[in-house]
Amino acid sequence: MDLLLWRHAHALDALPGQSDMDRALSRKGEKQAAAMAAWLNARWPDNTRILCSPSKRTLQTVAFLKRAYEICEDIAPEANASAVLKAARWPHSPSAVLVVAHQPFLAETVEQLLNLNPAKPLSFRKGGVWWLKYRTKDEIPKVELVCVENPK
């Protein structure tokens, strides 16, 4: 199973009284999302299932893919790594899964799957993608890091 984790692109700060869920992408974020969407569309399996947080900035990010996606309330900004893995049906999904969501739980998901225990939290750049693959080799389950791609 392939699991792609895409952090939303750069977003504007919340205005006074504005909900965190309503923060929009900045111009920089729009450029980041467009670049990463082009990169993803050129590389991932066609049958990839796309899950997106319901926040405005993630919905704007995923829109650049120009593909169907599911809004997943379970991966809203306050989620955790367990929620991501459950929503993605890790490691038993019949297709690749792209999760478009937030920090810090995207980095926590990578740390958990790769059995990392970093001294400081893993860096997961805005607009960046981490691509992981689960497979069994000689009947031994293994998680591999396929690549890390950032907008620049």
pLDDT tens for 19-41 read 999 999 999 999 999 999 999 99
**pLDDT digits 0-9 by tens, 72-130:** 999 999 999 999 999 999 999 999 999 999 999 999 999 999 999 888 888 899 999 99
From the candidate CATH numbers 3.30.420.10, 1.10.3720.10, 3.40.50.1240, 3.40.190.290, the one assigned to the domain spanning 2-11+22-149: 3.40.50.1240
Secondary structure (3-state) at 19: coil
Of residues 72, 66, 9, 69, the one with CA closest to residue 36: 9
pLDDT at residue 63, rounded to an integer: 98
pLDDT at residue 118, rounded to an integer: 82
- The chain-wide mean pLDDT, for the chain, equals 95
Instruction: Tell me the whole-structure pTM to 2 decimals.
Output: 0.95
Q: H helices then E strands: how many in the chain?
A: 4, 6
CA angle centred on 93, ends 122 and 39, rounded to 5°: 55
pLDDT at residue 14, rounded to an integer: 92
What per-residue string of b and e applies to 3-21 under the rule 16 or more CB within 10 Å gives b? bbbbbbbbbbeeeeeeeee
pLDDT grade for 45, boundaries at 50, 70 and 90: confident
Q: Which residue has the tokens 């969407």?
A: 37
Annotated domain spans of the chain: 2-11+22-149
